[in-house]
């Protein structure tokens, strides 16, 4: 493998570490030179892996938000039921006082 597999690995590690600016600089360096067919193929594999990682991260964040929303709705529903029961009890007491 002519393209430094370790360069791709370093790029991915920088992204994983949250060092986006450093990763962008490395990507700019790679983009400014001519790539061989093998290097282009490796780049496409990297792109696919990054796409999957990004998609998974987005899906995970969406699921976490959805779970939080469901929990809040359950809590709200429980409060609503308790309120309705209190209203029914108050109405029943008023009826009994008549």
- For the chain, the domain total comes to 1
Nearest to 2 by CA among 48, 33, 47: 33
What domain range is 57 assigned to?
5-97
d(CA 88, CA 92): 6
For residue 11, how many other CB atoms are within 10 A of its CB? 20
pLDDT digits (tens, 9 = 90+) for 69-82: 999 999 999 999 99
pLDDT digits (tens, 9 = 90+) for 18-36: 898 988 888 787 777 787 7
Contact 8, 16 (CB under 8 A): no
């Amino acid at each position: 493998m002519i393209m430094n597999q370790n360069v791709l690995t370093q790029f991915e590690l920088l992204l994983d570490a949250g060092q986006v600016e450093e990763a962008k600089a490395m990507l700019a360096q790679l983009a400014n030179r001519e790539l061989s067919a093998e290097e282009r193929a490796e780049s496409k594999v990297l792109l696919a892996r990054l796409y999957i990682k990004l998609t998974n991260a987005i899906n995970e964040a969406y699921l976490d938000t959805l779970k939080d929303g469901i929990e809040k709705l359950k809590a709200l529903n429980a409060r609503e039921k308790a309120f309705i029961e209190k209203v029914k009890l108050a109405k029943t007491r008023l009826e009994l006082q008549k």
